[in-house]
Chain A
């Protein structure tokens, strides 16, 4: 067991920083409205945040954009695991046959 005090200290600080972001929504949760504009905004969080997370990946290369479109179409008909498998095959094909931007 090899633990450096400064490294352990940094890891603990990272854990607190991460926990702060994850508990905050539960602390403000009871004060959030159950209808109106702010409720509409909160309902959009899943689609909005997931889209933002993957946005840069989609435009990395033509292969990724191609695979993203293929995955979105596949996801309409297949369960998540099937859509992922189709997407990974599409990105490998794309990298073989489509160039860079």
Chain B
């Protein structure tokens, strides 16, 4: 593959992630300011955005942070919140067969929800290239880190995201992605099972296990459907 076509794919990836990354800015700001309030230094929360790079896990652990940090409890919390990434990476794996092992190792490091969702969407219409994947990841990584750092500086001068409707941005993004994935009637039992199981699990057990519970319920519903017939064109 020529250099110019790699650069073209990188640019496509960056452009694709840009609106999503900009939507993440208020959350990065909030994370930075919340971290400082909980006694983490700007250097520490920046390090977390650099090497953990997982918004929901960062929010939850920062909200329960104490000093000295209970590292095992915090790591376990991050692990449980991120269990959904087992399903996400398993689903993405066959679409990246042409990536080298070293590239897959880096892909996994950068596999935030938004990166995963955008690349799954891309895989529906086009083979994912390393240029495209790392373009999307680069865009989110830089903006997420910059927003985190800015949040530590701006602190309490920031408006709460819900006053400007920004807390709904991710829900809206994920809804529009689900409508993209749910093209045929076969998606209906998947979406309904996932919805029912995740709500039930959350109301009974609380916590963050509801994502995996809903994901598994949707997968079971899909497995129970009659095998897909290849229809004549």
- The answer on a CB contact under 8 Å between A51 and B47 is no
What does DSSP make chain B's interface, helix, strand, loop or mixed? helix
- The answer on a CB contact under 8 Å between A48 and B61 is no
- The answer on a CB contact under 8 Å between A15 and B222 is no
What does DSSP make chain A's interface, helix, strand, loop or mixed? helix
B223 near A: Cβ within 8 Å? yes
Stretch at the interface among B1-9, B49-57, B143-151: B49-57
Tell me the nearest residue of chain A to B73, going by C-beta. Answer: A10
Q: Which of A10-33 contact B (CB under 8 A)?
A: 10-26, 28-30, 32
- With A22-B89, A45-B91 already in contact, the answer to whether A52 and B57 are too (CB < 8 A) is no
Instruction: Give the contacting residue for B190; candidates A3, A13, A38, A47; CB below 8 A.
Output: A47
Docked Cα-Cα span, A62 to B67, in Å, equals 39
- The answer on a CB contact under 8 Å between B44 and A3 is yes
B219 near A: Cβ within 8 Å? yes
Instruction: Give the contacting residue for B107; candidates A26, A67, A87, A95; CB below 8 A.
Output: A26
- The answer on a CB contact under 8 Å between A42 and B90 is yes
Interface size class of A (residues with CB under 8 A): 35 or more
Instruction: Give the contacting residue for A47; candidates B164, B176, B182; CB below 8 A.
Output: B182
Docked Cα-Cα span, A26 to B178, in Å, equals 23
A86 contacts across to B, CB distance below 8 A: 172
- With A47-B190, A71-B172 already in contact, the answer to whether A25 and B43 are too (CB < 8 A) is no
Instruction: Give the contacting residue for B214; candidates A42, A55, A57; CB below 8 A.
Output: A55
- The answer on a CB contact under 8 Å between B82 and A22 is yes
- With A40-B223, A50-B181 already in contact, the answer to whether A14 and B74 are too (CB < 8 A) is yes
- The answer on a CB contact under 8 Å between B165 and A91 is yes
- The answer on a CB contact under 8 Å between B168 and A67 is yes
- With A20-B79, A26-B104 already in contact, the answer to whether A11 and B190 are too (CB < 8 A) is no
**Which residues of B line the A interface, CB within 8 A?**
19-20, 23, 40-44, 47-48, 51-54, 57, 61, 67-72, 74-76, 78-79, 82-94, 96, 104-105, 107-109, 111, 113, 117, 120, 164-166, 168-182, 187, 190-191, 193-195, 197-199, 202, 210-225, 227-228
Shortest 5 CB-CB contacts between residues of A and residues of B: A48-B218, A25-B89, A52-B214, A29-B93, A87-B172
